[in-house]
């Protein structure tokens, strides 16, 4: 008998799966038996190799969500029942200097692309009567303001809101929609912070767990949210931050 955490027979799309958190999520889903399509602007060969070498099933797909409609025809007849929206981008500048083109670039990927990818996925599942799960990657900046990242902060607040409205609308169709808000995770994106002794210490001093998160911490949470164990978890934004927001 399959366990309540099993993803056997399920097909998942993970965007931004070539490295970091997206890669860890793809590996975690495959570890529970899902067939994983690893999507990114660049080839996800390293992720696919890690999965197949461990006995899982994965393929790579080029998908550039700087075009927010890039996934609009991706789901029709393709058999997906899990969607993880992890692809994202960030631009940094003081709010008084932030350029319109930078605002649009961030919003197109982080919020508009996420919404219309969800829309295409949900439309297909509702049309076929297939239950499923959407997992969006939010941020601590879905709750906080941050500094010098106005578009990113606005987009991640938006991700939390989109997650909740889709959960409300799609629950009657057996589709759960949740989000994960990662804390400070040891990835390429945080390398500069971790290499700065003062900044790293300030971060660690606030985290009750006393350590940087590992990308696998996010992967495990995503695998849970995609599984039958989480069918009554809906519209949640789950902090995976070692206690940062509780501090």
Q: Specify the range with the lowest mean pLDDT, choosing from 120-129, 160-169, 192-201.
A: 192-201
| Global pTM exceeds 0.85 | yes
| Residue 199 confidence (pLDDT) above 60 | yes
Residue 152: active-site member: yes
User: Which pLDDT does position 2 carry in this prediction?
Assistant: 60
Across the range 19-33, mean pLDDT stands at 97
Question: DSSP letters along 157-210, please?
Answer: HHHHHHHHHHHHHHGGGTEEEEEEEE-SB-SGGGHHHHHSHHHHHHHHHH-TT-
Question: pLDDT grade, residue 189 (50/70/90)?
Answer: confident
Residue 111 lies in a domain: yes
Residue 195 lies in a domain: yes
Percent of the chain topping pLDDT 90 = 95
Q: Give SS3 for 240.
A: strand
Residues 128-180 have pLDDT tens digits of 999 999 999 999 999 999 999 999 999 999 999 999 999 999 999 999 999 99
Q: How many domains does the chain have?
A: 1
Q: In the Cβ-directed half-sphere of 246, how many Cα atoms lie within 13 Å?
A: 9
Question: pLDDT grade, residue 193 (50/70/90)?
Answer: confident
Nearest to 164 by CA among 140, 131, 138: 138
Residue 243 lies in a domain: no
| Residue 79 confidence (pLDDT) above 50 | yes
- The CA-based angle 176-214-239, given to 5 degrees, is 40
User: Which pLDDT does position 34 carry in this prediction?
Assistant: 98
The answer to whether 232 and 12 are in contact (CB under 8 A) is no
Domain assignment of residue 155, given as a range: 11-238
Residue 244 lies in a domain: no
Residue 3 lies in a domain: no
The answer to whether 74 and 123 are in contact (CB under 8 A) is no
Local structure of residue 214 (DSSP, 8 states): P
Residue 217 lies in a domain: yes
The CA radius of gyration of the chain, in Å to the nearest whole number, is 17
User: Which pLDDT does position 192 carry in this prediction?
Assistant: 82
Residue 245 lies in a domain: no
Average pLDDT over the chain, rounded to an integer: 96
User: Which pLDDT does position 173 carry in this prediction?
Assistant: 98
The answer to whether 203 and 211 are in contact (CB under 8 A) is no
Residue 114 burial (CB count, 10 A) = 31
Enclosing H/E stretch for 126: helix 114-128
Across the range 206-232, mean pLDDT stands at 97
Taking the alpha carbons of 192, 194, 197, 203 in that order, is the dihedral positive or negative? positive
Percent of the chain topping pLDDT 70 = 99
With 0-12 / 13-18 / 19 or more C-beta atoms within 10 angstroms meaning exposed / middle / buried, residue 5 is: middle
- The CA-based angle 127-219-131, given to 5 degrees, is 15
Residue 227 lies in a domain: yes
Residue 161, domain CATH: 3.40.50.720
User: Which pLDDT does position 1 carry in this prediction?
Assistant: 38
């Amino acid at each position: 008998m399959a366990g309540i955490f099993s993803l056997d027979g399920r097909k998942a799309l993970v965007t931004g799966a070539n490295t970091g958190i997206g890669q860890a999520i793809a590996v975690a889903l495959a570890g529970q038996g899902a067939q994983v399509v690893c999507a990114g602007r660049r080839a996800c060969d390293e992720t696919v190799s890690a999965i197949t070498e461990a006995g899982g099933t994965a393929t790579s797909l080029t998908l550039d969500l700087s075009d927010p409609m890039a996934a609009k025809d991706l789901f029709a007849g393709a058999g997906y029942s899990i969607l993880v929206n992890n692809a994202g981008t960030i631009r940094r500048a003081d709010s008084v200097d932030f350029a319109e083109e930078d605002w649009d670039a961030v919003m197109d990927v982080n919020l508009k692309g996420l919404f219309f990818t969800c829309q295409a996925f949900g439309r297909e599942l509702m049309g076929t009567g297939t239950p499923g799960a959407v997992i969006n990657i939010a941020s601590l900046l879905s709750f906080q303001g941050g500094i010098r990242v106005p578009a990113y902060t606005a987009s991640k607040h938006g991700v939390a809101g989109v997650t909740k409205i889709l959960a409300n609308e799609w629950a009657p169709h057996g589709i759960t929609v949740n989000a994960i808000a990662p804390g400070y995770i040891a990835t390429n994106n945080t390398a500069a912070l971790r290499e700065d002794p003062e900044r790293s210490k300030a971060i660690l001093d606030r985290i009750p767990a006393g350590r940087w998160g590992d990308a696998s911490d996010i992967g495990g949470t995503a695998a849970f949210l995609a599984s039958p164990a989480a069918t009554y978890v809906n519209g949640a934004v789950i902090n995976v931050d070692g206690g940062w927001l509780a501090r």
